[in-house]
Amino acid sequence: MSQDWDAGRLDSDLEGVAFDTLAVRAGQHRTPEGEHGDAMFLTSSYVFRTAADAAARFSGEVAGNVYSRYTNPTVRAFEERIAALEGAEQAVATATGMAAILSVVMSLCSAGDHILVSRSVFGSTISLFEKYFKRFGVEVDYVPLAELSGWDAAIKPNTRLLFVESPSNPLAELVDIAALAEIAHAKGALLVVDNCFCTPALQQPLKLGADIVVHSATKFIDGQGRCMGGVVAGRSAQMKEVVGFLRTAGPTLSPFNAWIFLKGLETLNLRMRAHCASALALAQWLEQQDGVEKVHYAGLESHPQYELAQRQQRGFGAVVSFEVKGGKEGAWRFIDATRLISITANLGDSKTTITHPATTSHGRLAPQEREAAGIRDSLIRIAVGLEDVGDLQADLARGLAAL
Ligand SMILES: *Cc1c(COP(=O)(O)O)cnc(C)c1O
């Protein structure tokens, strides 16, 4: 391998290109083999030319790979592509979405700090905050997602982070990210957005003023239900801390999974457009059905935050929730009558999924807590995949017929 090999001749010039081009090409640094596809580096360690070279790389004096817990070329390609798509100065990949959230809090918070979390976040996120961070002296309070005055009032002098998911799961509530970022910054706190449901194809929270974005890459970034992974993206000042924690603690992403995610990103925008189009069509259809009492989808004019969704997002996402007649029994009969859609709580897959939140994802909550969160027994959530929308509608019609 020639040391004076000029990478510039083989890599693409991405100055000023659009999102779709970045999704296909950003982060790819070709090797002297001139491969057209992304190369995969399945290696835990790296060799050095000389003892002096090893010493210089270990000390950081010379940039380069040392060990794959620190850096790996395939993982770095994925990180650079996510940074380009989110408009971040830097991104770092993690073993799972939960490891991304863990790394943000571990690297930016200390005992005595306070975190505000939107009430409707992912179940394991709540467990992480409640069961583990509290044990290390981090205070955590929960705030209803949409009401800005509630956030403002709940901030304390020691509040370090505001953590939100927008849109929320499963009820598709939103928060005005730009306004919330202003509230956080006025009080010296950082805004962290879990952007898993939208992906950068539909929403770029950093461009709206948020400080950090986290993802479960397991969902739409993979898009085909193959691998676990996550990513944190943000400004260099905060990312330096997150990277330091990850390299030391080790919940880093496997290069194999990074390679799968690079392939996933190449089709992200196309897939998200198809997910959104089918979800909107099904939400509109469901809203007209007698057996359906209410549909929760930000792309419907009946949604209280329809205007905000149009302003803040480029699409309304794949997740549609709806309440059916007949309570829990009705919801279970509906789900059991489907023949195509998969009964599973996962989402972000090319295969459409259906779930009953009250007895699965939100089953651990006490009935009053579920009621307060708006998770009724009659609620069903679908995460719309890439099958033919007519076939999906026919399957949901089987559910309606069984009510
Ligand atoms: C799935 C999910 C996570 C956790 O990601 P894993 O990859 O399963 O660890 C976090 N946030 C949201 C919104 C999710 O849907």
Atom 5 in ligand 1: residue holding the nearest Cα: 97
Q: Is 118 in the pocket of ligand 1 (CB under 6 A)?
A: no
Q: Is 194 in the pocket of ligand 1 (CB under 6 A)?
A: yes
Strand partners, 139: 114
115-124 burial string, b = 16+ CB within 10 Å, else e? bbbbbbbbbe
Does the predicted model carry a pTM greater than 0.85?
yes
Domain ranges within the chain, ordered by starting residue: 19-264, 269-401
Burial of 312 per CB tally in 10 Å (0-12, 13-18, 19+)? buried
Please name the residues in contact with 91: beta carbons below 8 A apart, sequence gap of 6 or more: 79, 80, 82, 83, 231, 232, 233, 234, 239
Q: Find the 50 Cα to ligand 1 centroid distance in Å.
A: 43
Please tell me if the domain spanning 19-264 has the same topology as the one spanning 269-401: no
Nearest atom in ligand 1 to 98's CA: 9
Q: Which of 101, 118, 120, 124 to mutate to test the pocket of ligand 1 (most atoms within 8 A of CB)?
A: 124
**Which pLDDT score, from 0 to 100, does residue 373 have?**
82
Spell out where 75-168 has E strands.
90-94, 114-118, 139-143, 159-165
Q: Find the 197 Cα to ligand 1 centroid distance in Å.
A: 9
pLDDT by position in tens, the chain (length 403): 334 445 556 788 899 999 999 999 999 998 888 899 999 999 999 999 999 999 999 998 999 999 999 999 999 999 999 999 999 999 999 999 999 999 999 999 999 999 999 998 988 999 999 999 999 999 999 999 999 999 999 999 999 999 999 999 999 999 999 999 999 999 999 999 999 999 999 999 999 999 999 999 999 999 999 999 999 999 999 999 999 999 999 999 999 999 999 999 999 999 999 999 999 999 999 999 999 999 999 999 999 999 999 999 999 999 999 999 999 999 999 999 999 999 998 999 999 999 999 999 888 888 988 888 889 999 999 999 999 999 999 999 999 999 9
Three-state secondary-structure class, residue 233: strand
Question: What's the pLDDT tens digit per position in 227-269?
Answer: 999 999 999 999 999 999 999 999 999 999 999 999 999 999 9
Strand partners, 115: 140, 161
Q: Is 218 in the pocket of ligand 1 (CB under 6 A)?
A: yes
Q: Is 126 in the pocket of ligand 1 (CB under 6 A)?
A: no
Name the CATH superfamily housing domain 269-401.
Aspartate Aminotransferase, domain 1 (3.90.1150.10)
- CATH topology (fold) of 19-264: Aspartate Aminotransferase; domain 2 (3.40.640)
**Which pLDDT score, from 0 to 100, does residue 9 have?**
67
Q: Find the 206 Cα to ligand 1 centroid distance in Å.
A: 19
- CA-to-CA separations, 115 to 34, 130, 189, 214, 394, in angstroms, rounded: 48, 11, 9, 16, 45
Residue 45 is given by DSSP the state: B
Q: Is 262 in the pocket of ligand 1 (CB under 6 A)?
A: no
Residue 206 is given by DSSP the state: G
